[in-house]
Amino acid sequence: MNPFEFLFDSGDLRKIKHDGQELIQRIYYAVRDEEWLNTPYTLMNYSSGEESGLLKISYELFFKRNRIKFSARFDVAIGYNSIVLETNGTALSDFRKNRIGLCVHLPVSLKGIPCEITHWDGSRTTSFLPILVSPHQPFKNISEITLIFSEFSILMKFEGDIFEMEDQRNWTDASYKIYSTPLDLPFPVEVKKGDTFTQKITVSLVGLSQNPAITPNNEEKIVPAPDFGIFDLNNLNTPCKQNRFPLYVRVDFRLHEKTWREEYKSVLQKAGSFPQYYCMLYLSANYKEEIADFLHFVDSECLKEKIYSVALLSPEEFVLPDAVLGELTVILRGFLPAVRIGAGTDANFAQLNRNRPETGPLDFIFYSIQPQEHASDRLSLIENIMGQYDTVQTAKHFGNGRSIDISALSFFRRFNANVAVTASKEPMVDYEFRGTPFETAWFIGALHQLVVAGVHAVTCIGCMDEKSPLRVLFDFMTKHRPEYFYTEGSPLPEKYSLISWVTQGKKYSVFGNLTRETLTILDSAVKRNLNPDEILYVESED
């Protein structure tokens, strides 16, 4: 009998479970170039079979892009209570790399689990997997790590390189990643043709027994409805109905550029039907002159009553310095006393978490969510929906009571924050799954996570074409504008997403099938079929 359940997916071991509990989300091999981009690969020479009571799997991965040519062989042996994975990689060309080697993802469902880390010098650390999102590596120089459950432990040994852990919820990945080659070491590194890379990971279960059953809490709770807005420069000419569900439109003012007035008069003409504007102000070292020009522009264009919020950013740093923020808030409150003023980053939560602003003068802090920082496969995108809740909770913790805004919620990666501070002026118009039911099902799950976490405002970026599924979702929420939301979501969040709310005494629910298979779901004691990629809208009595 083998206690492990797992999925082999194109060279990755995924969803490693014992007794139905997910212990390891993913084990995989990464070749990342000098811009931290993953190198695509081809799976070759796969074989599997039983030998001496072990399930043995072997295969090769061939990585290739631009100058990078790299081959790695994998040998996996899975026994009753252990998994051993050995890799031997060889560079087939000269290139520059930031990382090469094995990575292990631990699911965010394990947060708070006690653990013991053995370091390379033999010392030990007793701790737990972080509950709030750790801005920096929680554990370094890892030789072994033991996760301690009530009925058993899982021991992981790492050989061939120095490993450390980062909290991937900084990028809304729902995992803790253990990877090789510490970030403290210089990068990128020159790799020469013929260089070899050998690593080994051993996973063992210790003290196996049955886990007690967990009784779900089905008590329904409600939370207030946040404000919603959109940011899609290609679809701002869409007529806006009175009391439209997207309350505002985001407008970026790059005040450090000489042409900003001409550019944004055109933008504001398109956005004119929206009741309010979420103003993103990019300010340089000449911020005093730039903010004075902006306020004069607001006055001359009669925009004062239409500004929903002012978000302060820098085109050169991820978060404006505290001294600058202090001066700007004083100026803005003198001219716009009723307007919310906030600071943060339009990059990932990582950039905010590692550059936390002084919140004293602020009404809110903000950051963006773009889930494809590390992986773009369908399963990873689904898993990473669950990483968003904890970012909001962490921001609330260091935000000292300030409200939390999501400046951009997008299914696609808007820009590479490893090499740039801000996104380009135009949102991406061509990306995988654009305008598909899968994109909308992802948004349904993401919006539920953010609503339950207690965000104040969410700005959505996506395909808002007239008949796109995402546009249909927003139109439905416009017609039945939420008064409050239910905290209960999908019991199978990797299969389907669910968001529910109440409007005028009626309950409205939207289900999104995240799979390519037909699902049977139980909603209010009624069975329903959810077809592949279907978005299902349901109205019922509250």
Rounded to whole angstroms, the Cα distance separating 407 from 456 reads: 11
d(CA 166, CA 184): 13
Residue 382 parent element (H or E):
helix 378-383
Report the alpha-carbon distance of residue 160 to residue 168 in Å, rounded: 23
Buried b vs exposed e over 410-444: b needs ≥16 C-beta within 10 Å? bbbbbbebeeebbbeeebbeebebbbbbbbbbbbb
Concatenate the DSSP letters of all residues of 498-516 into one string. EEEEEETTEEEEEEEE-SS
* Residue type at 535 in one-letter notation: I
Among 278, 421, 386, 262, residue whose Cα is nearest residue 340:
278
User: Side-chain half-sphere of 307: how many Cα atoms within 13 Å?
Assistant: 26
Q: How far is Cα 376 from Cα 374, in angstroms, rounded to an integer?
A: 7
Looking at residue 220, its pLDDT comes to 60
The three-state secondary structure class of 186 is coil
Contacts of 26 (CB under 8 A, 6+ apart): 12, 13, 14, 15, 103, 104, 105, 175, 380
Cα distances (angstroms) measured from residue 414 to each of 428, 458, 464: 7, 16, 16
- Predicted confidence at residue 234, as pLDDT, reads 53
**Three-state DSSP state, 456:** coil
The structure tokens 């080659």 sit at: 181
- Give helix 437-453 / helix 469-479 axis angle, nearest 10°: 40
Question: What is each CA distance from 228 to 79, 223, 456, in whole angstroms?
Answer: 50, 15, 9
Q: What is the rounded CA–CA span in Å between residue 446 and residue 406?
A: 11
What pLDDT is stored for residue 2 in this prediction?
59
What residues form DSSP beta bridges with 28?
103
Phi, psi of 321 (to 5 degrees): -60, 150
What's the Cα-to-Cα distance from 294 to each of 220, 248, 298, rounded to whole Å? 46, 19, 6
- Report the distance separating Cα 223 and Cα 484, nearest Å: 6
- Where residue 53 falls (left for φ over 0; alpha for ψ -120 to 50; beta otherwise) is left
pLDDT along the chain (542 residues), means of 10: 81 91 95 94 96 92 97 94 95 97 97 96 96 97 95 94 97 96 94 98 79 42 92 52 67 92 76 80 96 94 91 96 97 96 97 96 96 91 95 96 96 90 79 94 97 96 86 92 94 95 94 95 80 93 72
Tokens representing 287 are 């911020």
Output the CA torsion sign for 42, 45, 48, 52. Answer: negative
Among 246, 176, 227, 129, CA closest to 450: 227
